[in-house]
């Protein structure tokens, strides 16, 4: 059984994950409008992954006898200046999500909630990957500078994501 405090925190994380999906979908829409088809595909795939993360929290709360409370999702930005700005924002957002997951783990540790600690291990590992991916892409785009050819090559590579 989840404590009320843990249940509330996990419900807030569902909201964080759904906002992540909303943010990445907004980034996908911007990239599509700017004709960065590869980045649009990459961001759409990322949005789908974030919905799956939210579902994991949703199901975990229910499995532990808690109640899911869906909170309002704030509106994400819809305009960026460049593909680089999008991936820098994505990296910053992933660092925020890492902090959220770490805070959940700290709470689970304080409450001696071992099953939630075990559940969160997957997310801790996932966040290492999420930060590394977005940082790598941002760094590639930074190196590309104003080179249209380099940016288009990176965009094509992003489109190869399954």
pTM, two decimals, is 0.95
Cβ within 8 Å of residue 99, ≥6 positions away: none
The model's pLDDT over 130-149, given as tens digits with 9 standing for 90+, comes to 999 999 999 999 999 999 99
C-alpha distances out from residue 149 to 51, 146, 152, 154, Å: 33, 9, 5, 9
Q: Is the pLDDT of residue 62 over 90?
A: yes
Residue listed under structure tokens 């409370």: 69
Domain 4-158 has CATH 1.20.1260.10: yes
The model's pLDDT over 11-59, given as tens digits with 9 standing for 90+, comes to 999 999 999 999 999 999 999 999 999 999 999 999 999 999 999 999 9
pLDDT at res. 11 = 98
DSSP 156: H
For the chain, the domains span: 4-158
pLDDT at res. 162 = 79
pLDDT at res. 49 = 98
User: What is the rounded CA–CA span in Å between residue 1 and residue 66?
Assistant: 7
Of 91, 26, 88, nearest to 34 (Cα)?
26
């Amino acid at each position: 059984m989840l404590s009320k405090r843990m249940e509330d925190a996990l419900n807030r994380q569902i909201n964080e994950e759904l906002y992540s999906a909303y943010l990445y979908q907004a980034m996908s829409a911007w990239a599509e409008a700017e004709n960065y088809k590869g980045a649009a595909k990459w961001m759409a795939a990322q949005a789908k992954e974030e919905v799956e993360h939210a579902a994991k929290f949703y199901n975990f709360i229910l499995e532990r006898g808690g109640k899911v409370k869906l909170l309002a999702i704030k509106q994400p930005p819809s305009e960026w200046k460049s593909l680089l700005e999008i991936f820098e924002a994505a990296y910053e957002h992933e660092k925020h999500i890492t902090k959220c997951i770490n805070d959940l783990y700290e709470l689970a540790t304080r409450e001696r909630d071992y099953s939630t600690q075990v559940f969160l291990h997957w997310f801790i590992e996932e966040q290492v990957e999420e930060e590394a991916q977005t940082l790598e892409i941002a760094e590639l785009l930074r190196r590309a500078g104003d080179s249209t050819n380099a940016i288009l090559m990176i965009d094509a590579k992003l489109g190869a994501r399954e």
